[in-house]
Every structure is written in structure tokens, then in C-alpha cells.
């Protein structure tokens, strides 16, 4: 059957050639036939795409293994890292619901309030996530520290949004569920060069339920740091003033620890 089929194909081609010859040469201005699929150049491989621009850190698809749940847990900081008076948290800080559960008429600022209240600055995690919380009873402070296996593009979008807030939400008012109207101020926290990309905010929320009550002020430091495709999210708040350089100390230790965990994972692979 194969010989017969080949013969038919050759005969068909000879017939087609004869017909074309009989029809005469093509006109000079006739459009060239479209290339066949075999003649078209193959699309560029994703591996041949240009590298990420300097300063953006490791991007998704570089071949680095994803962070495992055990690695995320090992990358957390603990009470021994920050020292006295920090201890493991007993629960959510009393000021969390009272001052962070609030609404405002400014959509962009409402998004910030909701992210702070739900502890979801990065949205739903793309992979394993580990979280710890520490209390400082002397200063009515609480620190929440989170390590996420993320996509670098998602983290960078969050960082870009956070960078707009010191201008877009520099000052606004919000209505709380328990403490009346509060005045909110948002400023750049001026983080040091942590990780591959980072953004920090210093947020103060001041509420005065009634003229007879003394005002209550919550000072909140928020930081997101990207390390390769992973992310660190830190929120540290206190009624009054945060302990000196708590945020910087936690991030300094945390970024180094995440890098060490990653290095150990590569060595064991």
C-alpha cells in the first residue's frame, strides 16, 4: 500500500506541475504564496526572553525551587531574636478591632484599611505561608511577621501600590466601629535596603470617641520586602510610640534568615 500511495502522490505532483506550466508563468506583481507552517520561523522560546532589569531581583521562572512549608516556618523570627520584653503573643491586640475595623469614603484608602484589618496586604498566598506574632506588654505593642512563597510580579504590584499611599492617603478620616471617628495619617517609613525590593509605611490612627475622652493614638509600621520570589510582610503596632527600630531589627534578622534557609535548601537539593 505504501508504494501505491507514493506513486499516486508523485503522479499528482506531476499533474500539478504540468497544469502550472500550461497556464504560463505567474505575473510579476502576483503576491508570493504564504509560507507553510514548516517554512515559518519557530516562535521564540520563553527561555530566550530578555533577563529582568537590574534591581528587580529574582523573577518567577528562573528555576529556583518553590519555598516549602517547612522552609517558610524556619524563616520566621521569634521572641529570642528581639529580646526582652517581646514574648509569644496570646492573641490579637486589643487595638486591632477597635481602631483598624473602620470605613472611609476614599476607595484607595479603604483598601488600605481593609488590608490592615484582615492582614492581607499581599492578598491570597500563591504558595506556603508561615505567620507568627509577638507581644511587647511594656508598650502595648504587637508585631505580626509573615513569610510567603509568592510570585515576584504580584509582590511588585503590591509594592507599587504601597508607594502611592503617602500621597494618595496622606491624611483622611475614617469611622470606626468602636472608637468613633479617627484621623489617619500615612507616611513613607524610609526603610533601609532590605531584600531585592521593599516599601514601608508609618501609619498613625488617632481616635477620640467623645469630647470627654482622651484621644487614643495607634502607631503602625507596615513593611513588605521581596527576597527573590518570596515575601516578608511585617506589621508592628503600639498605642503611643513603637519601640525604637523594632521594624528595622526584625527585617534585618528576617531577610538574612530567609536567605540562609534558601541557601540550605539549595545545598540539600
- What percent of the chain clears pLDDT 70, i.e. is strictly above it? 75
Per-residue confidence (pLDDT) for residue 40, from 0 to 100: 38
User: What's the pLDDT band for 170 if we cut at 50, 70, 90?
Assistant: very high
Per-residue confidence (pLDDT) for residue 1, from 0 to 100: 39
| Length in residues, the chain | 269
In a domain, 107, yes or no: yes
In a domain, 86, yes or no: yes
Number of domains composing the chain: 1
When comparing pLDDT for 75 and 60, which is higher?
A: 75
Per-residue confidence (pLDDT) for residue 11, from 0 to 100: 38
When comparing pLDDT for 241 and 258, which is higher?
A: 258
When comparing pLDDT for 210 and 94, which is higher?
A: 94
In a domain, 30, yes or no: no
CATH code for the domain of 143: 3.40.1000
Please, are residues 205 and 183 in contact by the beta-carbon 8 Å criterion?
yes
How large is the average pLDDT for residues 155-172?
A: 97
In a domain, 186, yes or no: yes
Q: What's the CA gap between 212 and 201, in Å, rounded?
A: 31
A 10 A CB-CB count for 46 gives 7
In a domain, 227, yes or no: yes
How large is the average pLDDT for residues 233-256?
A: 93
In a domain, 31, yes or no: no
pLDDT digits (tens, 9 = 90+) for 106-121: 999 999 999 999 999 9
Torsion, Cα of 117, 120, 122, 125 (10° steps): 180
pLDDT digits (tens, 9 = 90+) for 7-56: 333 334 334 333 333 344 443 444 444 444 334 343 333 333 333 333 33
In a domain, 208, yes or no: yes
Sign of CA dihedral 83, 232, 75, 196: negative
In a domain, 168, yes or no: yes
When comparing pLDDT for 167 and 266, which is higher?
A: 167
Structural element, H or E, at residue 268: helix 246-268
Per-residue confidence (pLDDT) for residue 139, from 0 to 100: 87
Q: From 44, 5, 4, 57, select the one nearest 225 (Cα to Cα).
A: 57
Question: Which residue segment(s) compose the domain that 252 sits in?
Answer: 69-268
Amino acid at each position: 500500500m505504501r508504494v501505491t500511495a507514493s506513486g499516486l502522490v508523485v503522479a499528482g505532483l506531476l499533474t500539478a506541475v504540468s497544469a502550472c506550466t500550461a497556464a504560463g508563468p505567474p505575473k510579476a506583481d502576483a503576491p508570493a504564496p504564504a509560507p507553510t507552517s514548516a517554512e515559518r520561523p519557530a516562535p521564540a522560546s520563553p527561555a530566550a526572553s530578555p533577563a529582568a532589569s537590574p534591581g528587580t531581583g529574582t523573577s518567577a521562572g528562573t528555576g529556583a525551587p518553590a519555598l516549602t512549608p517547612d522552609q517558610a516556618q524556619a524563616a520566621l523570627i521569634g521572641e529570642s531574636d528581639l529580646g526582652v520584653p517581646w514574648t509569644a503573643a496570646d492573641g490579637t491586640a486589643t487595638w486591632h478591632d477597635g481602631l483598624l475595623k473602620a470605613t472611609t469614603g476614599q476607595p484607595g484608602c479603604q483598601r488600605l484599611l481593609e488590608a490592615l484589618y484582615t492582614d492581607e496586604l499581599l492578598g491570597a498566598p500563591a504558595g506556603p505561608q508561615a505567620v507568627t506574632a509577638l507581644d511587647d506588654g511594656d508598650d502595648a505593642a504587637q508585631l505580626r511577621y509573615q513569610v510567603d512563597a509568592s510570585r515576584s510580579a504580584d509582590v511588585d504590584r503590591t509594592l507599587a501600590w504601597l508607594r502611592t499611599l503617602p500621597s494618595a492617603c496622606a491624611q483622611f478620616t475614617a469611622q470606626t466601629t468602636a472608637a468613633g471617628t479617627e484621623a489617619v495619617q500615612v507616611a513613607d517609613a524610609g526603610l533601609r535596603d532590605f531584600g531585592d525590593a521593599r516599601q514601608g509605611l508609618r501609619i498613625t490612627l488617632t481616635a477620640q470617641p467623645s469630647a470627654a475622652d482622651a484621644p487614643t493614638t495607634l502607631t503602625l509600621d507596615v513593611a513588605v520586602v521581596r527576597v527573590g520570589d518570596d515575601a516578608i510582610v511585617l506589621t508592628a503596632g503600639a498605642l503611643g510610640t513603637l519601640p525604637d527600630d523594632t521594624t528595622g531589627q526584625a527585617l534585618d534578622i528576617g531577610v538574612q534568615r530567609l536567605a540562609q534557609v534558601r541557601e540550605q535548601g539549595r545545598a540539600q537539593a
